[in-house]
Structure 1
Amino acid sequence: MTTNKIELRTVNVTRYITPLREGGSLPALAEANDDFKYVLKFRGAGHGVKALIAELLGGEIARTLGLKIPELVFANLDKAFGQSEGDEEIQDLLKGSQGLNLALHFLSGALTFDPVVTQVDEKLASKIVWLDAYTTNIDRTVKNTNMLIWHKELWLIDHGATFYFHHSWDNWEKAAVSSFPYIKDHVLLPQASLIEEINDEMIALLHDEKLKEITNLIPAEWMEWEGTDMKPDEIREVYYQFLVKRRNSSNNFVKQIQDARKTLI
Structure 2
Amino acid sequence: MLSEVAALRFVTPLREGGSMPGLVEADDLGLYVLKFRSAGQGPKTLTAEVVCGELARRLGLRMPRLVVVDLDPALGLGEPDREVQELLRGSGGSNLGMEFLSGATGFDPLAFEVTPEEAGRIVWFDAVVNNVDRSWRNPNLLVHQGALWLIDNGATMIWHHNWPGAEASAARPYDAADHTLARFAPDVAAAAAELAPLVTEELLAEVTAEIPDAWLADEPGFAAPDDLRRAYARPLLARAAVIHERIEGLK
Q: TM-score range by the shorter chain?
A: over 0.9
SS at match of 1:245: helix
Q: Does 1:208 align with 2:201?
A: yes
2:249 is equivalent to residue 260 of structure 1: yes
Cα distance between partner residues in 2 of 1:22 and 1:95: 21
Which stretch of structure 1 is more off in the superposition, 74-83 or 45-54?
74-83
Map 1:9-48 → 2, pairs under 5 A: 9-21=3-15, 24-48=18-42
Residue 98 and residue 198 in structure 1: after superposition, are their counterparts in 2 closer, same or farther (change >3 A)? Answer: same
Query: What SS does the corresponding residue of 1:46 show, helix, strand or coil?
Result: coil
Percent sequence identity is: 44
CA distance in 2, matches of 1:151, 1:139: 23
Q: Which blocks of at least 5 consecutive residues in structure 1 are unaligned?
A: 1-6
CA contact (8 A) 1:29 1:38 kept: yes
> Deviation per CA, 1:135-167, whole angstroms, max 9, x where unpaired?
000011111111111111111111010111112
What is the total number of aligned residue pairs between the two structures? 250
- Does residue 1:246 correspond to 2:235, yes or no? no
CA distance in 1 between counterparts of 2:68 and 2:47 reads: 11
Q: List alignment gaps of at least 5 residues for structure 2.
A: none
Matched, 1:135 2:125: no
Describe the superposition over 1:151-210 as per-residue Cα deviations: whole angstroms up to 9, x where unpaired.
1111111101011111222321112222123x2211112324421122121112212211
Q: Write out aligned runs for 1:206-245 (5 A).
A: 206-225=199-218, 228-231=220-223, 232-245=225-238
* Structure 2 CA distance for aligned equivalents of residues 108 and 23 of structure 1: 18
Deviations 1:47-88 (A, max 9, x none): 100000111111111111111111111111124332333322
**Secondary structure class of the residue paired with 1:261:** coil
Say if 2:123 and 2:186, in contact at 8 Å, map to a contact too. Answer: no
Partner-residue secondary structure (3-state), 1:94: helix
CA contact (8 A) 2:205 2:229 kept: no
Distance in structure 2 (CA, Å) of the matches to 1:106 and 1:198 = 28
Is it true that 1:171 corresponds to 2:165 in the alignment? yes
Q: In structure 2, how many angstroms separate the alpha carbons of the residues matched to 1:161 and 1:149?
A: 21
User: Aligned equivalents of 2:180 and 2:17: distance in 1?
Assistant: 22
Alignment of 1:70-149 (within 5 A): 70-149=64-143
CA–CA separation in structure 1 for the residues paired with 2:124 and 2:61: 12
CA distance in 2, matches of 1:217, 1:77: 19
* Superposition TM-score, scaled by structure 1 size: 0.89
Question: Could you tell me which residue of structure 2 aligns to residue 188 of structure 1?
Answer: 181
Q: Is the 8 A contact 1:64 1:206 kept in 2?
A: no
CA distance in 2, matches of 1:149, 1:23: 17
- Structure 1 runs, 4 residues or longer, greater than 3 Å off: none
Superposed CA offset, 1:100-149 (max 9, x none): 11111101111111000011011000000000000000011111111111
